[in-house]
A and B are shown apart, each in its own frame.
Chain A
Amino acid sequence: MPSCWHATAELRERLTQQRLLSRELNHRVKNVLAMVQAMVRRTLSDQRPVAEARELIGQRLQALARAQDLLLRTDWKDISIKEIIATELATYSERIVLDGPDLRIDGRNVQTLTLLLHELTTNAVKHGALSDASGEVSISWATVGSGANARFWFRWEERHGPTVKLPVHKGFGTVLLQSTFSAPDTKRRLAFEPGGLVYELDIPLAGLIQASANG
């Protein structure tokens, strides 16, 4: 077969690949823009002073950017839950206690988990256990059950921090914590207990982690 035929076939193949990649990139960019739009719109809807909203938007965008960095490193595949937590809580690593197996979180859930951790961290830094020198945060998680009934259980518990005060305003961060992961039969608990804020999440394991790792 003449070499020009091979060159033509190869060129056609490359054009097809390039088109697919462009389409996929366009899809991801539009989705990220939609997330940014949602984040900005909801933060501004919380009726906060402009300066505070501007700071919150900047921090939330930084969290989203960190999630994008993680995803880029693994080509949007699965990422270690410990790595996600470490990335989000790097500044406070000496005051964080981790307890759980090293699950691989599916790429589709990395942004959601990152934003959830970001909202918990932001609250802890402003009002909770990380707002003074004595507090700490215990983060534990586990898988419970097996097969189609397997669940993922997650707990964030703040300890030894200042006395907890009930928030007077329910902002978008709180709404996100109370709504995040919309899979059926998802259970969430956000409690302002005397010892510190406690947040629990109990969701189906399927879809959260890579199918190959679900066992």
Chain B
Amino acid sequence: MPPIEKLSIPAPEPPLLWMLASIPHDSNAPDVSDSTSYNAPRSLRILIVEDEILIALDMRDLLEESGHVVVGIADSADHAVAIAVRERPDLILMDIVLAGPHDGIDAALELRERLDVPSLFITAHPDLPMRERAEAARPLGFLVKPLDEGTLRRVLARL
């Protein structure tokens, strides 16, 4: 009688990994949008890589409302690299699943290597294989869609 083969049930994935130190929401902390009680974070030059233009425009407005400068919006990995090489941003908000042969992780890897620009990944579903692949780009972390405005502001304020 052959040995009974066990069905391999995949182990549940660990909770979302924050490579950036955890950013708890402290209700007593000053709101970063309140300029009267908070030293405004430095203005960052940011490239948005997102292939849904509606989401990209919303991100642009959120960033500009927080005092940052959006140097461009790219809808593909290749476009992201082209803009980053030209504009030299401080940071890239990088969607992972993009149109075209390369994804956001490919672009983040290339831009980390060529320009040493860090990426902050924004994705709908950061699963473990994806995060493991992304680690080589030494990203600042992962934010999950739909994007929480307060979390994004707090992350950027710490940079």
Residues of A in contact with B (beta carbons under 8 Å apart): 2, 5, 8, 11-12, 15, 19, 23, 26-31, 33-39, 41-42, 45, 108, 111-112, 115, 172, 175-176, 179-184, 207
Contacts and interface: CB of A to CB of B under 8 A. Distances in A.
9 contacts: A2-B2, A5-B2, A26-B124, A33-B146, A41-B149, A42-B57, A176-B57, A182-B56, A182-B74
A27 B97 contact: yes
A30 to B, nearest CB: 3
Interface of B: 2, 5, 7-10, 51-59, 61, 73-76, 79, 82, 97, 99-100, 124-125, 127, 144-147, 149
Nearest to B57: A179
Majority SS at the chain A contact face: helix
Nearest to B127: A23
A8 B4 CA distance: 10
A34 B97 contact: no
A34 B8 contact: no
Nearest 3 interchain pairs by C-beta: A38-B58, A30-B124, A34-B145
B147 A184 contact: no
B7 A27 contact: no
Contacts of A172: 57
B57 A183 contact: no
B57 A34 contact: no
Contacts of B10: 19
Nearest to B82: A184
Given A8-B5, A11-B7, A26 B54 contact: no
Given A12-B7, A179-B53, 19 more contacts: A5-B2, A23-B125, A27-B124, A31-B145, A35-B52, A38-B55, A38-B57, A38-B59, A42-B57, A108-B51, A108-B99, A112-B53, A176-B53, A176-B57, A181-B75, A182-B51, A182-B75, A183-B76, A183-B79
A34 B75 contact: no
Contact of B7 (A8, A23, A29, A30): A8
Nearest to B5: A8
B72 to A, nearest CB: 9
Contacts of B51: 108, 182
Given A19-B10, A26-B125, A183-B76, A33 B58 contact: no
Contacts of A45: 61
A56 to B, nearest CB: 14
Given A38-B55, A180-B53, A182-B56, A33 B75 contact: no
Nearest to B79: A184
B100 A207 contact: yes
A28 B52 CA distance: 12
B82 A115 contact: no
A66 to B, nearest CB: 15
B113 to A, nearest CB: 22
Contact of B58 (A42, A111, A207): A42
